[in-house]
A and B are shown apart, each in its own frame.
Chain A
Amino acid sequence: MFYNKLLSKIFNACSGNSGLKSASLRNTSAKYISTTARRDDLNEFFDIKENWGVPEVKSGRGWTKDDLRIKSNEDLHKLWYILLKERNMLLTMEEEAKEQVKLFPSPERLDKVRDSMKNLEDVVRERNKAYHLLETGKDGERPVEKYINPFGMNATKRLYEYPLPKHMNKKWLENHVPYKENNKDIQQFQLKLGENTFMYKKRKRTRDFNHVIGLLNRFPNMDMEALKGQYPDVDIEKAKRSRKYKGWD
């Protein structure tokens, strides 16, 4: 009797996840720890009383993509709201700590929740992509187009659907000014932008070169391959010929 119950429990746990990956699921048993208790009122916006004013609140790690890929869509839907509630709770506690001029304990929890939510959305996006590629042959995501913006710089924009064609859509035309090559202001801007980028690159080259010489002086037995990997633009032989280089080979 008890064994049957246990089996049905395991089956339910597995069937909750996508049938595809259930084979790999049977080997995984995850233990979760929680810092929050179950409540169903407005107090859910606050942490449990034991965690008020303590210097540190222990929590587990965030959800990785691999953890989330073996979950079903329903589980992901639930987990999204669990994470959302946790984030709301943490933000409330952070604000309250700020108000009382106290330290908010373990702020890394916010980062963990944020990363988990990002991962969750990416996993849902993967599944969406898979469906679209199988059924329609396209990835089903918002198309992105490269264009030259009014300042003459390369840019990318997301494409949206409009009920009106471009030439009839006054509002669209107001917001989308085309790039005019012969405009004097734009030409001046381009000139100055070019000068700015040129000077930035030139200064960076000199800075890196001098920095490499300094590194060579300080650490004569350095791994040259690693140095080349980190500063590929710097000619190390030339740096060693510099008068600032104090070592000798």
Chain B
Amino acid sequence: MLPRNLIFVRNISTTIPKCGKKNFRKFQLFNKRGSRLFKQQQAKDPEPDLFHNRGVREIGYKDGNKYVVVPEKIPELIVPNLSDCKLKPYVSYRAPDIQQDEFTAQDLFDVVYAPKIVADFKENKLNADGSPIEPSIYEKLTPAEAELKARQTGTDLFCSRDDVV
């Protein structure tokens, strides 16, 4: 005969399974969350999967144990002075309708280059191939230089959601 404490008894449980919000085994604890012991472990030997930057962009890179801050990576917000600014968030319904086409490269050319070319032509300051004898700073600019200038730190690379389906 078996001793009394070894008799198998079948039980049923009337409590609900622990799947609610209180069950912390369901969640991963990022960064500073968790018990003191867990945090001490993380400080000593951090698990890379349990790091969450919360959507904040990095301002540098890690070089071994050192973190190198890159000043160009620090976001800079340029806020204009809004005092004496008469622009408002809404436009009156009484304002006249404005028809204006899209701003194109041709428009920009007409403003920046065309007057100089016309003046040079009138004063015979053009070479036989049409290049200016005394080029302005804009005319000296090569495509590579212009691209480099346009792609400097802080510029946007536009890409709308409509382009990526």
Contact = CB atoms under 8 A, between A and B. Distances in A.
Interface of A: 19-21, 24, 28-36, 59-67, 69-70, 74-75, 77-79, 81-83, 85-86, 109, 112-113, 116, 123, 125-138, 140-142, 144, 155-158
17 contacts: A20-B103, A24-B98, A31-B94, A32-B86, A33-B90, A61-B91, A82-B82, A109-B90, A112-B90, A125-B158, A125-B160, A126-B102, A131-B105, A132-B147, A136-B150, A138-B147, A140-B150
Contact of A126 (B89, B92, B103): B103
Contacts, number: 148
A32 B91 contact: yes
B141 A135 contact: yes
A34 B103 contact: no
A33 B92 contact: yes
Given A77-B80, A125-B158, A141-B159, A135 B146 contact: yes
A197 B45 CA distance: 49
B91 A67 contact: yes
A132 to B, nearest CB: 6
Contact of B111 (A19, A35, A157): A19
A156 B163 contact: yes
Contacts of B102: 69, 126
B92 A130 contact: no
Interface in B130-156: 141, 143, 146-147, 150-151, 156
A138 B158 CA distance: 13
A132 B150 contact: yes
Interface of B: 78-80, 82, 85-105, 107-112, 141, 143, 146-147, 150-151, 156-160, 163-165
B91 to A, nearest CB: 5
A60 B108 contact: no
Given A30-B95, A67-B98, A116 B89 contact: yes
A21 to B, nearest CB: 7
B86 A60 contact: no
Contact of A156 (B80, B86, B164): B164
Given A60-B93, A135-B141, A130 B100 contact: no
Contacts of B90: 32-35, 59-62, 109, 112
Name the prevailing secondary structure of the B interface residues.
loop
B87 A79 contact: yes
A142 B82 contact: no
A69 B107 CA distance: 12
Q: Which of B90, B91, B93 has the most CB of A within 10 A?
A: B90
A23 B24 CA distance: 67
Contact of B82 (A29, A81, A112): A81
A24 B147 CA distance: 31
Nearest to A77: B80
A32 B151 CA distance: 36
Contacts of A30: 91-92, 95-96
A64 to B, nearest CB: 8
Contact of A134 (B80, B109, B151): B109
Contacts of A82: 82, 85, 87-89
Contacts of A64: 91, 98
Given A32-B90, A127-B103, A130-B104, 12 more contacts: A32-B88, A61-B91, A62-B91, A66-B99, A81-B80, A85-B89, A112-B89, A125-B160, A129-B105, A135-B143, A136-B143, A141-B158
B108 A131 contact: yes
Q: Which of B99, B101, B104 has the most CB of A within 10 A?
A: B104
Contacts of A78: 80, 82, 85, 87
A81 B146 contact: no
A69 B92 contact: no
